[in-house]
Every structure is written in structure tokens, then in C-alpha cells.
Amino acid sequence: MKIRRLALLTAGCAALVLTSVSRSQSGMSMPMNEGDLKWSPAPPFLPAGAQLVVLDGDPGKAVRVTLRLKFPAGYQVPAHWHPTQEDVTVLSGSLHVGMGDKLDKSAGTLLKPGGFVALPEKMNHFIWTDDETVVQVHLQGPFEITYADPATDPRQSK
């Protein structure tokens, strides 16, 4: 079990490293417009269907990271927490965010484009969408997730 979990963690980190952004010699990330973004499947610690693009930083390292996630309509992530704070801004669509140990659609707050939430480290929260949604996330890496109920972790079904 420990070896399997280590293998899954290693695969997830490898996927994140492959999506990291290079910086110019000045230390600035390369300017980009929406059409320049190269979306990839999100790491296996998120349910299938999400896409990710890293705008700045390396999500596999302990550095400041800016990334975007694109969720399809009807997407949901069960209750989970992260080891560092996440600052989330809704760019398009809408995102429901709730706090607690179990996904509860009666307990969420709807965020529309421009909406923002700061999710403290190690606070259980959950999300779901009604329509395709894009969010921008700022965090201190590494980008990791721990599910409140290990049975809801999508890595367990692989």
C-alpha cells in the first residue's frame, strides 16, 4: 500500500514538473495571452476531467505558484485540504465552495466571475460546478491535496 501510494505521488509530482513554467534570465515568467495557454490534464489527485495550466512557478517545488484549473460542467471535488493556503479567483463560469468534512451541496457559497476565496492551510473544503468554470489559483508549492475521506481520493481507484 505504501509503495503504491509513493508511486502515485511520484507520478503526480512528475506531471506537475512537466507543466512548470520557464522563466527568462530576468526572473520574470514569459508574458502570455489566453491563446498562448497550453492546457493539460490535471494531476491524478484531482478527479478526471479537470485541466491545468501553470502560469508561473513549479507546482512540484516549495515556491510561489500561479496556475489555472478548468473544470467541466457538473464537476466536483470531495472534501479535502492542502498543506498551504490557496487563493482562488473565478475567471469564468461559477464555482460553489463549501467548508466541512463531506461534500454538501446545501452548504456551499456560489462564486461568480471575479469572485474570490482564500482557503487556509489544512482546512477541509469542497467544490463543485454547474457549468464549465476556470479559476486562477495562487499558492505556495508544492501543490498537494489530502482527502478528508481517503475512499474519495481518485488515486485510490487506479
H or E, element range at 147: strand 146-147
Number of domains in the chain: 1
Shortest CA distance to 71 belongs to which of 59, 58, 88, 56? 88
pLDDT of residue 32: 86
Confidence at residue 158, expressed as pLDDT on a 0 to 100 scale: 60
- What pLDDT is attached to residue 80? 99
Residues of the domain holding 96:
2-157
Q: Give the CATH number of the domain where residue 78 resides.
A: 2.60.120.10
Which parts of the chain have pLDDT scores under 50? 1-24
Q: Give the closest residue to 83 by CA, choosing from 121, 126, 45, 125.
A: 121
Pairing of strands 109-111, 133-140: unpaired
Calculate ∠ Cα 50-123-104, nearest 5°: 65
Kindly report the length of the chain.
Answer: 158
